[in-house]
Amino acid sequence: MWATPRMKYLSRSFGTLCRVNVQCRSLVTTTNSAQVIEQHQFYNEEQQKLQNAIKKLIDKEINPHVDEWETAGMWPAHKIMKLFGQAGFLGINKPVEYGGLDLDYKYQAAFNEALGGICAPGVGMGIGVQTDLTTPALARFGSEYLKREFLAPSISGDVVSCLGVSEPDAGSDVAGLQTSARHHGEDLIINGQKMWITNSWQADWICLLLNTSAGPPHLNKSLVCVPMKTPGIHLTKMIDKLGMRSSDTGQIFFDEVRVPAKNIIGEEGKGFTYQMLQFQGERMAMALSGLEPMKMCIQETLDYIRERKAFGQPLLNNQYLHFRLAELETELECLRSIIYRAVELYVHGEDITRLASMCKLKVGRLTREVADSCLQMWGGMGFTNEILVSRLCRDLRLFSIGGGADEVMLTIICKFMGTLPVPPKKNKKFIT
């Protein structure tokens, strides 16, 4: 049979005593020096050390178990969140008073990119929800009380959180969501439902976007921290997904759920704006997290077709294949460049809505192209669940859908280009 890619690097290391963790199917890639220079130059020494530490944690506590979590359809969120919390990885760019390290965004970017080394993107997604989706607005706009109650334990990894924005009838159309609350004394009473919620089955609290008053749809919403054990919250089903199968995705019903109004993050009515801000970080996080999987895809495929023979020679000898891999490698490098460029601007406080949308659009499209092209090169083996590439095909397909579908990204970019059609004005003078 063909030599498993994982064996490749053992020949270089310390003889028979190599104990380096043999991960699921991803090998620690034998990089050539050219690739190594680029990534090294972008991150500083501490950021690289952070990435090395994350990689060690992943190699030790996560990758050896991902196959079993994928089969079970559930990752152990509390256990993993606690490990990350103890290592200080969950509050990288969050305030020190609540257990964070208040480092600049580039450290957070280094973290997001390193999460891509998890052989089951579903797990990385679950962790990323906590660091980049549920806590940024809370950290920036939340009251002292909310930060102590919800932010601090999220940073320490003692609780698991989820983000409640999407609904069965409102995904891309965030402004059109229907979950609402009425005021009742000092409380809010919430009714509605949320769909596609990552971590929902294991979460201790949800960062919920909902309507809190009547009024224009961009000005009547609030972000609210709601404990998942509050009476009236029901989870109905674990959604059976094509990919990201180790991630628990649920549908949540809110039936007269009572929560104090002081659980509103920041100002009431500003929820939509806060969520739009959170989206930029989410999109960058997704883009960054796509880089490592694509790199692994290309490297593993390269190693496989170097060994796999057909018609008397290695598949790699076919120009079509090594040229195709070179094309994919080039595209990956281009995507890396725009992502790093956006990161730098974000670090300097610039509004990166346009670039972040481009990064998100491109990562969604490129991961599909890379995974699909690579899978083809694996032939029959590619069509099995024994290969990382086939899991990445399924998992990374989400990138064009979740976190803002390609179509939404395109709309945003068109807005910047000034190409969206202007709706016709109602002409009142049309009476002779």
Partner 1 sequence: MSLRVLVGCKRVIDYAVKIRVRPDKMGVVTDGVKHSMNPFDEIAIEEAVRLKEKKIAKEVIAVSCGPTQAQETIRTALAMGADRGIHVEIPAKEMEKLEPLHVSKILAKLAEKEGAELLIVGKQAIDDDSNATAQMTAALLEWPQATFASKIEKTDGTLLVVREVDGGLETIKVKLPAVVSADLRLNEPRYATLPNIMKAKKKKIVKMKPADLGVDTTAHFEVVEVCDPPSREAGIKVEDVDALVSKLKEAGRI
**Residue 195, Cβ density class (10 Å: 0-12 exposed, 13-18 middle, ≥19 buried):** buried
Q: Which is nearer to partner 1, 49 or 234 (CB)?
A: 49
Binding of partner 1 by 17 (CB under 8 A): yes
For residue 368, give the nearest of 243, 235, 233 by alpha carbon: 243
Binding of partner 1 by 419 (CB under 8 A): no
Would residue 282 show up in a list of annotated catalytic residues for this protein? yes
* Separation between Cα atoms, residue 197 and residue 228, nearest integer Å: 12
Residue 199 DSSP SS3 = coil
Please report how close the Cβ of residue 112 comes to partner 1 at its closest, in angstroms.
Answer: 14
Q: Which is nearer to partner 1, 102 or 406 (CB)?
A: 102
State which of positions 151-190 bind partner 1 (CB under 8 A): none
Residue 233 DSSP SS3 = strand
* Separation between Cα atoms, residue 29 and residue 9, nearest integer Å: 8
Binding of partner 1 by 3 (CB under 8 A): no
Q: Which member of 113, 282, 292, 300 is catalytic?
A: 282
Please report how close the Cβ of residue 37 comes to partner 1 at its closest, in angstroms.
Answer: 5
Please report how close the Cβ of residue 48 comes to partner 1 at its closest, in angstroms.
Answer: 9
State which of positions 49-68 bind partner 1 (CB under 8 A): 49-50, 52-54, 56-57, 60
Please report how close the Cβ of residue 294 comes to partner 1 at its closest, in angstroms.
Answer: 18
Interface residue with partner 1 among 46, 97, 169, 369 (CB under 8 A) is 46
* Separation between Cα atoms, residue 6 and residue 22, nearest integer Å: 7
Binding of partner 1 by 45 (CB under 8 A): yes
Binding of partner 1 by 22 (CB under 8 A): no
For residue 306, give the nearest of 30, 35, 22 by alpha carbon: 30
Interface residue with partner 1 among 2, 30, 323, 383 (CB under 8 A) is 30
Q: Which is nearer to partner 1, 14 or 430 (CB)?
A: 14
Q: What is the DSSP code (8-state) at residue 320?
A: H
Stretch that binds partner 1, among 14-22, 168-176, 214-222, 265-273 (CB under 8 A): 14-22
- Count Cα neighbours of 316 within 13 Å in the Cβ-side half-sphere: 14
Q: Which is nearer to partner 1, 110 or 339 (CB)?
A: 110
Contact partners, residue 233, CB within 8 Å, separation at least 6: 226, 252, 253, 254, 255, 257
Q: Which is nearer to partner 1, 62 or 332 (CB)?
A: 62
Binding of partner 1 by 7 (CB under 8 A): no
Q: Which is nearer to partner 1, 114 or 398 (CB)?
A: 114
Binding of partner 1 by 114 (CB under 8 A): no
Q: Which long-range contacts (CB under 8 A, 24 or more apart) does 329-332 make?
A: 329/298, 331/366, 331/369, 331/370, 332/291, 332/294, 332/295, 332/298, 332/366, 332/370
Binding of partner 1 by 9 (CB under 8 A): yes
Stretch that binds partner 1, among 88-96, 149-157, 261-269, 389-397 (CB under 8 A): 88-96
Q: Which is nearer to partner 1, 19 or 426 (CB)?
A: 19
Binding of partner 1 by 37 (CB under 8 A): yes
Which residue has 């080039």 as its token pair? 330
* Separation between Cα atoms, residue 36 and residue 221, nearest integer Å: 46
Which residue has 């180790």 as its token pair? 246
Binding of partner 1 by 253 (CB under 8 A): no
For partner 1 (CB under 8 A), the number of binding residues is 35
Interface residue with partner 1 among 7, 31, 379, 383 (CB under 8 A) is 31
Binding of partner 1 by 261 (CB under 8 A): no
Residue 189, beta-bridge partner list: 182, 258
DSSP-derived pairing of the beta strands 187-198 and 205-211: unpaired
End-to-end CA distance of the chain: 84
**Residue 67, Cβ density class (10 Å: 0-12 exposed, 13-18 middle, ≥19 buried):** middle
Q: Which is nearer to partner 1, 53 or 74 (CB)?
A: 53
State which of positions 91-110 bind partner 1 (CB under 8 A): 92, 101, 103, 107
Binding of partner 1 by 313 (CB under 8 A): no
* Separation between Cα atoms, residue 356 and residue 341, nearest integer Å: 10
Q: What is the DSSP code (8-state) at residue 31?
A: -
Q: Largest Cα–Cα distance of the chain, in whole Å?
A: 94
Please report how close the Cβ of residue 329 comes to partner 1 at its closest, in angstroms.
Answer: 16
Residues labelled as active-site residues = 282
Q: State the residues that interact with partner 1 by CB under 8 A.
A: 9, 12-14, 17, 19-20, 28-34, 36-37, 40, 45-46, 49-50, 52-54, 56-57, 60, 86-89, 92, 101, 103, 107
